[in-house]
Structure 1
Amino acid sequence: MHGHALTIDVISDIMCPWCFIGKRRLEEACALTGVPVDIRWRPFQLDANLPADGKDRTLYLHEKFGGAERAKAICARISSVGRESGIEFAFDSITRSPNTLDCHRLVRWAQHDGAQDALVERLFAAYFLEGVDLTLRDNLIALAGDVGMDARLVAELLDSDADVAETQAEIETAQRIGVTGVPCFIIDGKYALMGAQTPENLAAAIRKAAAEAGAAREPAAHAM
C-alpha cells in the first residue's frame, strides 16, 4: 500500500450528532488498521427545508421528535454513546438549528487549502460542544479562519452563490445512489457502510478494500 492512500468518502451533515460520533469512530478505525487513507467529506442535508436563518432549537426538536420529553430522551441516548468516543455533547447550549448549506460550501472550499478534515472537526465542535450559532455568517468566517482559511475570501464567497448549485447537486447524487441517512462511509468507491458503524466494522472494510487494491496493483508491479 506504500504511496497509495485508500479513498474514504464520508457523506455527512454538520447538524447530525451521529456524524460527529462517526468521525471519531472512523479515526479509531484508521488507527486500528494503519492503512494510509485520504478522507473526503461530502455534503448531505438532513433538513434542506430549514430557513437560511435556521430555526429555534427547542421548536425544531419539538417538531422533529413530537415533544420535549421524547427529544430529551433521544439527546440523552446520543450523549451516552458520544461519551464512549470522548465527545461531551452540550445539546442544551445549542440555540438554533441551522440550514447547513453554507457549512457544506465551506467544507468544499476547505479542500483547496488541505484543511477539510480540520474544518469539519471545528464545525462539529463549535456546534455540538460550544453552542456556536452556525446560522450567523460571521461565525462561519471565524471558524474558517481558525483552521487557516482566508477569512476575507471566505466572506466574499459566502456573499455570492458560489458552489450553491454544485453542493446541492452532490447532495442529490448521494440521495440518488440510495443514501437515506448519514453518516455514510464509501470506502475505495466500492463499499458503502451506512450509519455510525463501530470502529471494528469500519476497520474490517478498510482492510478488505486495502487488500483488494493491493492485489489489483500486484500484476502491474511484476510486469516490469
Structure 2
Amino acid sequence: MTDTQAIQPITIDTISDVMCPWCFIGKRRLERAIAQLPEIDIEVNWRPFQLDPTLPPEGKDRQAYLEEKFGGPEEAEQVYDQIREAGEAEGIPFAFEKIARSPNTIDAHRVIRWAGIEGVQTPLVERLFSLYFLEGADIGAHETLIQAAREAGMDPAVVEQLLSSDADRGAVEEEISVAQQIGVTGVPCFIVDNRYAVLGAQDASVIADAIRQSYQERQAGVRPPTEGGPEGSGTA
C-alpha cells in the first residue's frame, strides 16, 4: 500500500435528485452505513440527476403533475404508501400533502455544486430534502434556494448573483449526461470509490459492504483508485 492510498479517503459519489423521496431515504441509509465503519475515512460527494427535466422552470402544480404521472392522487397515494413506510423506518415523516408544486431541480443542483466548493454540500442537501418533503417548500424558487444556502453556511448574496445568471448550468447538465451514459436511469445511485455502483436506496448493510470491500481492496493494493467518475428509486 502506498502512502497516497493510505491518505486518500474512500469516495462515495451519490447521484441523486432532491425531488426524489427514495434519495432522501437513501441518504439516511448511507449515513447508517458510514456509522458502521468508523475506521474508514469516507468522503461523500453529491452529483446531479433530474428525474423530470421536462418540468418548466417555475415547476408545475402538484395535483396536475400527479394526474399526468400516475393518473390521479389515489393512484399516486398507492405508490407513496410504500415510500411513507420506508421513510418511517428511517425517521423521515414525509408530508407529501404539504407539497404544492413539483419543481424543476436544475437550479437546486447548481447550488449544490457551489456548496461543494464551500465544503457544505451535505448540510445543503439535507436542508433541501427537509424543505421539500417535510415542509412543502418550493425548492425550485430562487428565494428558497438562497435561504437554504444561507442556512448551510454559504454567502446568500453570492448565491443570488450566481442564480440570476446561467453559471454552471452547462456543467450540471453535462454531469447528468455523463451519469446517463454510464447507465444511471434511476436514483439514488452510490458510486463507491469509482469501483462499485449500489443502485437504489439499498439497505445500509449493502452500502456498508460495498465500502468495506473497496477499502479492503485498497489496503491490499488491488485495483488502485482512479481519478474522476461520477429497492426503490426514481419516484418524483
TM-score range for the pair, normalised by the shorter chain length: over 0.9
Match in the other structure for 1:86: 91
Q: Does 1:100 align with 2:105?
A: yes
| AA aligned opposite 1:125 | S
Match in the other structure for 2:12: 8
Match in the other structure for 1:37: 42
Match in the other structure for 1:220: none
Match in the other structure for 2:203: 198
Partner SS for 2:36? helix
| AA aligned opposite 1:127 | Y
Q: Does 1:141 align with 2:146?
A: yes
| AA aligned opposite 1:141 | I
Match in the other structure for 1:129: 134
Partner SS for 2:216? helix
* Percent identical: 53
Q: Does 1:176 align with 2:174?
A: no
| CA distance in 2: counterparts of 1:111 and 1:135, whole angstroms | 19
Alpha-carbon shift at residue 4 of structure 1 (Å): 3.1
CA contact (8 A) 2:104 2:140 kept: yes
| AA aligned opposite 2:33 | A
Once structures 1 and 2 are overlaid, which stretch shifts more, 168-177 or 66-75? 66-75
Structure 2 length-normalised TM: 0.90
RMSD of the alignment, in Å? 1.1
Of 122, 141, 148 in structure 2, the residue corresponding to residue 117 of structure 1 is 122
Deviations 1:114-152 (A, max 9, x none): 000110001000000011111221111011000110000
Alpha-carbon shift at residue 214 of structure 1 (Å): 1.2
Q: Does 1:211 align with 2:216?
A: yes
| CA distance in 1: counterparts of 2:197 and 2:141, whole angstroms | 34
| CA distance in 2: counterparts of 1:141 and 1:68, whole angstroms | 31
Q: Give structure 1 stretches of 5+ with no counterpart.
A: 218-224
| CA distance in 2: counterparts of 1:116 and 1:216, whole angstroms | 30
| CA distance in 1: counterparts of 2:142 and 2:35, whole angstroms | 35
Alpha-carbon shift at residue 182 of structure 1 (Å): 0.2
Partner SS for 2:43? strand
Q: Does 1:28 align with 2:6?
A: no
| AA aligned opposite 2:180 | Q
Alpha-carbon shift at residue 33 of structure 1 (Å): 1.8
Partner SS for 1:33? coil
Alpha-carbon shift at residue 62 of structure 1 (Å): 1.5
| CA distance in 2: counterparts of 1:199 and 1:74, whole angstroms | 22
Structure 1 length-normalised TM: 0.94
Counterparts of 1:58-97 in structure 2 under 5 Å?
58-97=63-102
CA contact (8 A) 2:190 2:197 kept: yes
Alpha-carbon shift at residue 2 of structure 1 (Å): 5.8
| CA distance in 1: counterparts of 2:87 and 2:67, whole angstroms | 22
Alpha-carbon shift at residue 63 of structure 1 (Å): 1.0
